[in-house]
Structure 1
Amino acid sequence: MTTLVPVTYKGGVYRHDEIMDLIDDLGGYIVQKHVMAQDVVLQSFVPRDDIDLIREVAKPLAGEVVEAPLVGTEIAVVSPSLEIHHLPHTACDIAEYLRRAGAKTNMVGLARGFGKRIANLNDEERDVINEHDLAVYALGSFEECIRQKFPVLRRGIQVPIVVTGAPDRETLVRAIDPPVEGYVGGVGRIMHRFKRPEELAKLDELVDEVSRTLDARRDALARDPLSVFPPRLMAIIEEQLPEVSMLTHPTPVTAQMEGLRVKLPYDLYADDIRSLAVTADGAVTVGDIADVLPSRMRNYILIRIKPFSETRILV
């Protein structure tokens, strides 16, 4: 079975369609395409054995192909608030750096995340965070504050959590009980953007920690694979549902590790998506292999792909 790995192609707009055609011909999938002035960035899944071929084709075009471990994931960056009191510079830089590694990030500023005594997490915030593959909590500078507030801020969260804070890693491990999946110390409230080498090194450490956590989740999924690869289902929806191409969102369909987020109104398009054919003969539809649910994020559609053990279908 061909193993698809996440990569990012960076190059000029000129002849980038040749790279797109090559990825398609090799059986890969383009998850997202960014065009910025004369530059283009393609986030995609390609066969592991064909990466060198893509690099060879990209070289005359002055293109670069790099492995991007977070492609195909959606991550929530959670801050106690987005007010100046919590210095949102850190959360913004974390979100941007994770995007550069391939992730789709969403900022979640809590309505009641401030104050040791009154900190809270409401139902909508909890549900929105749980719709992601992973949550990065950008916490503050004081161990005692983290110790008292975090149990409330994590209540009901079922996705893996990576915590950042000013205390070192060992202190965070000691302060947080029960433990979470990842810790990055030395990242507290900072009054400026991350610019210094030691600050950028912390962001690299965060990417490594998030990648390690998601790799563990991928290993768990591999033991009971999904009925269809999410980027493949994404390609099917984009091909059969023309309304998707008319959306102005940068990512009208967002790939996740276990499904997709389709940015169309649930009430109008949920039944249409359930009836889309996944196989050429039309014997298997999206509704047979996935749950099509309303998202708590606006009125979007959330697709959760069922595992093979539940459907006995592998597309």
Structure 2
Amino acid sequence: MLEPMMYVGGAYKHSQLIELVEDLGGYILQKNIMQSEVVLLMLVPINDIPMVETKSKELLGKLTRAPLTGSEIATVAPTLAYHHLPHLDCDVAEFLRKQGAKTNMVGLARGVGKRICQLTAFERDLINEHDVAVFILGNYEHCIIEKSKKLYEGIEIPIVVTGAPELKTEDVPNATAYVGSFGRILHHLRHAEELRTLDKLAQVIGKVLDDVRVEIAKDPPSVAPPRIKKEIEENIAEIIDNLHPLPITLQMNGVRVKLPYEEYHEQIENIKFVEGVTMKEVARVLPSKMRNFILIKALPKSETGFSI
């Protein structure tokens, strides 16, 4: 089992840590160098974490668990109109990115009003392509509860709801988790109490993702998502020059490839692993609702009968 970890330290000799993680069978998901500091997001075999910790201390860096790493999260606002405060949505999305997640903001077309709010079929399918949906709602308890009864219809992924009142999760229909102290804040989140609330939100989402990992481990994928990412990088030359942020975005059970589906899906389906199987034998290659990108979902071991 691979554990999501984050390393923060000096750029000097950080390549030694990268080589160690890869030698142990782990994956480097993302590397950001800012002047003399480097941030590494990686997946490390759980039994080998002590070795990686020892190397991190040797390099005078800090190694922490980052449960949001390797996930794609949809932050959903009822609308992108000013009274639904995109400021707050942007702050939440940016904070979750700093914790290792890839976030996409979704503004609903018909999310206004507790009596008439609804999802379109396109919005529902787009949200379902993510690992977790974070719905950022307002100040009124009655509005949050009434919207929760019908706004999440058809959503199959875990739902985390935020709002101003302090409610129990069981009081919010259809929600996997609820986090209070948000609501309609008229400024960017920068005060100490607001930052603590963001920390709490990240912890709650991390717990939700850990629960998803436990469920996936019961019937593991035939191929690990980081392995899919690595094979595409080695076999599809155009991905190197792709200007999209994170041209291959990792998810809990697959990846999103930011290339046109019609032009590249056959090449990806026919990628051959060293074990002798092709991509289409271990994963579904599907058109995404996002800009006609490619969505790859790994098949569970129970369906293929093997894992690589």
Please give the TM-score of this superposition, normalised by the length of structure 1.
0.92
Structure 1 residues 168-207: aligned runs within 5 Å: 168-170=166-168, 173-174=170-171, 176-177=172-173, 179-207=174-202
Structure 1 residues 235-314: aligned runs within 5 Å: 235-278=230-273, 280-281=274-275, 283-314=276-307
CA–CA distance in structure 1, aligned partners of residues 211 and 65 of structure 2? 18
User: What CA deviation, in whole Å up to 9, does each residue of 1:69-101 have, x standing for no partner?
Assistant: 111111111111222211122222221222222
CA–CA distance in structure 2, aligned partners of residues 275 and 267 of structure 1? 14
User: What CA deviation, in whole Å up to 9, does each residue of 1:116-136 have, x standing for no partner?
Assistant: 344221122111100000101
> What's the CA shift for 1:158?
0.8
> What's the CA shift for 1:54?
2.6
CA–CA distance in structure 2, aligned partners of residues 198 and 118 of structure 1? 34
Structure-2 residue corresponding to 1:232: 227
Structure 1 residues 4-83: aligned runs within 5 Å: 4-83=2-81
> What's the CA shift for 1:241?
1.6
Please give the TM-score of this superposition, normalised by the length of structure 2.
0.94
Structure-2 residue corresponding to 1:107: 105
CA–CA distance in structure 2, aligned partners of residues 16 and 108 of structure 1? 36
Structure-1 residue corresponding to 2:215: 220
Given residue 298 of structure 2, which amino acid in structure 1 is its aligned partner? I
Secondary structure of the structure 2 residue equivalent to 1:91: helix
> What's the CA shift for 1:60?
4.9
Preserved CA contact (<8 Å) 2:72 2:130:
yes
- Aligned CA-pair RMSD: 1.7
Structure-2 residue corresponding to 1:97: 95
CA–CA distance in structure 2, aligned partners of residues 95 and 137 of structure 1? 11
Given residue 275 of structure 1, which amino acid in structure 2 is its aligned partner? N
Preserved CA contact (<8 Å) 2:148 2:175:
no
> What's the CA shift for 1:205?
1.6
Given residue 285 of structure 1, which amino acid in structure 2 is its aligned partner? T
CA–CA distance in structure 1, aligned partners of residues 237 and 48 of structure 2? 31
Q: Is 1:211 matched up with 2:206?
A: yes
User: What CA deviation, in whole Å up to 9, does each residue of 1:257-308 have, x standing for no partner?
Assistant: 1111011110011000000012x15x21110011100000001100011101
Preserved CA contact (<8 Å) 2:222 2:299:
yes
CA–CA distance in structure 1, aligned partners of residues 82 and 34 of structure 2? 30
Structure-2 residue corresponding to 1:122: 120
Secondary structure of the structure 1 residue equivalent to 2:196: helix
CA–CA distance in structure 1, aligned partners of residues 58 and 214 of structure 2? 36
Given residue 297 of structure 2, which amino acid in structure 1 is its aligned partner? R
Structure 1 residues 126-165: aligned runs within 5 Å: 126-165=124-163
CA–CA distance in structure 2, aligned partners of residues 65 and 10 of structure 1? 7
Given residue 55 of structure 1, which amino acid in structure 2 is its aligned partner? E
CA–CA distance in structure 2, aligned partners of residues 124 and 35 of structure 1? 37
Between the two proteins, the alignment pairs up a number of residues equal to 308
Which stretch has the larger CA shift, 268-277 or 45-54?
45-54
> What's the CA shift for 1:102?
1.4
CA–CA distance in structure 2, aligned partners of residues 152 and 221 of structure 1? 28
